[in-house]
Amino acid sequence: MNYCKRWQALILFFISVCISLFVACTHNTDTVKNVSTPSAVRLVKHAMGETLVPANPQRIVTLDSYTLEAVLALNIKPIGAARTDWDHLRDRLVGVANVGLSGEPSLEKVLALKPDLILGNSYQQSVYNQLSQIAPTVLAKFENSSDWKEILTLVAQALGTTTSPLMEQYYARLEDFKTRMGVRLNQLEVSVITVPPDGGFYIYGNDTFSGTILADADLRRPKAQQNAATTSLRLSREHLSKADGDVIFLWNYSSPDEQGAQIQATAKLKADLLWQQLNAVKQGKVYEVPHYWIGTGPIAANLVIDDLFTYLLELKK
């Protein structure tokens, strides 16, 4: 174990040396000159402190799904990204270099792209110093998926733009939804659950991505999902009553390579007598929705709103 740790430390040290040498050798390039010019930079406060970023970054690399979706939603294409299996983003990633898995980027691949701005979240704080030697780095504070709006705001600040058009459209769509729902808005309890391939089920509370959208839509939640501090809670089949509501949104938990196991787990749930006794099941108000229900930004948020219109107002997309 100690032998492996020594090797890991040695590899990390080697990467740091390579990065330092690269920065030293390229400090006279146009990119670095622009960043060092006071009039060409902007100070951004983030999870790791304050960073001077280029006023008009051109070579952006994102290290997680949240900053990636924020950049794409702001109509900017990064040159590189830690990739995800999010279907709703796939078409937007054509031509974007892969720098590793979301949340687990390869420093060597990031370095090779010569970025002028790196965006990520606090999960990358252990390599923040190495990243900062490659390019100005901004890390968003991240606790759970409900942080998507704050991350979007920070990314917009780092890019020198605004979230106003995006969020104005988001809230306008929700106001339209609430108006169309009328009195039904206060008559429905909406449950959000998922079934992992390895059994059991999760309920999703207010402090999650979809939870924030349902709250903004003024939709009520079942008692077990109302706690503001509740994110996801894994339960056994004996607690299936906590999944009930007037409507249940059952979202697809798995990545593409787990689809077979996901289908089997969902089929097993539907065959369970306890599941069949739920009110939403009896009323035929269980709607299976894609992975973006536990998404990462405004693109997914608008897809969730599409589903609210489709299933609660029966207005097809």
Average pLDDT estimate for 302-311:
97
Asked if 18 contacts 111 with a C-beta cutoff of 8 angstroms, the reply is: yes
What is the chain's length? 317
Local structure of 44: helix, strand or coil: strand
For the chain, the average pLDDT equals 87
Residue type, 176: D
HEC assignment per residue over 52-87: EEECCCCCEEECCHHHHHHHHHCCCCCCEEEECCCH
Residue 5 clears pLDDT 60, i.e. is over it: no
**Which is it for the CA torsion 122, 231, 68, 97, positive or negative?**
positive
Lowest mean pLDDT among 125-139, 221-235, 273-287: 221-235
Domains and CATH numbers, the chain: 2-162 (3.40.50.1980), 165-312 (3.40.50.1980)
What is the arithmetic mean of pLDDT over 275-281?
96
Report in angstroms the alpha-carbon separations of 273 from 224, 241, 265, 278.
Answer: 21, 12, 15, 9
CA distance 25 to 33: 13
- Percent of the chain exceeding pLDDT 70 equals 84
Closest-CA residue to 251 (of 73, 72, 67, 88)? 88
Q: Determine the pLDDT at residue 63.
A: 97
**In the predicted model, is pLDDT for residue 198 greater than 90?**
no
Lowest model confidence (mean pLDDT) among 6-15, 26-35, 226-235, 274-283 = 26-35
Residue 3 has pLDDT above 60, yes or no: no
86 is written with which tokens? 């999010």
Amino acid 252: pLDDT: 82
Tell me how far apart the alpha carbons of residues 22 and 243 are, in angstroms, rounded to a whole number: 54
* Of 14-23, 56-65, 151-160, 183-192, the least confident: 14-23
pLDDT tens, residue by residue, 239-254: 999 999 999 999 986 6
Q: Give percent above pLDDT 90 in the chain.
A: 68
At 99, the pLDDT band (50, 70, 90 cuts) reads very high
**CA-wise closest residue to 79 among 98, 99, 63, 60:** 60
Write down the pLDDT at residue 315.
74
Pairwise pLDDT comparison (211 vs 30), residue with the higher score: 211
Residue 30 has pLDDT above 50, yes or no: no
Give residue 229's pLDDT. Answer: 57
What local confidence, expressed as pLDDT, does residue 197 receive? 82
- Confidence (pTM): 0.86
157-171: pLDDT as tens digits: 999 999 999 999 999
Number of H-type helices and E-type strands within the chain: 13, 13
The pLDDT of residue 260 is above 90: no
SS3 of residue 36 by DSSP = helix
With bands split at pLDDT 50, 70 and 90, how would you rate the model's confidence at 316? low
**pLDDT tens digits for range 118-133:** 999 999 999 999 999 9
pLDDT recorded at residue 39:
54
Burial class (CB in 10 A: 0-12, 13-18, 19+), 273: exposed
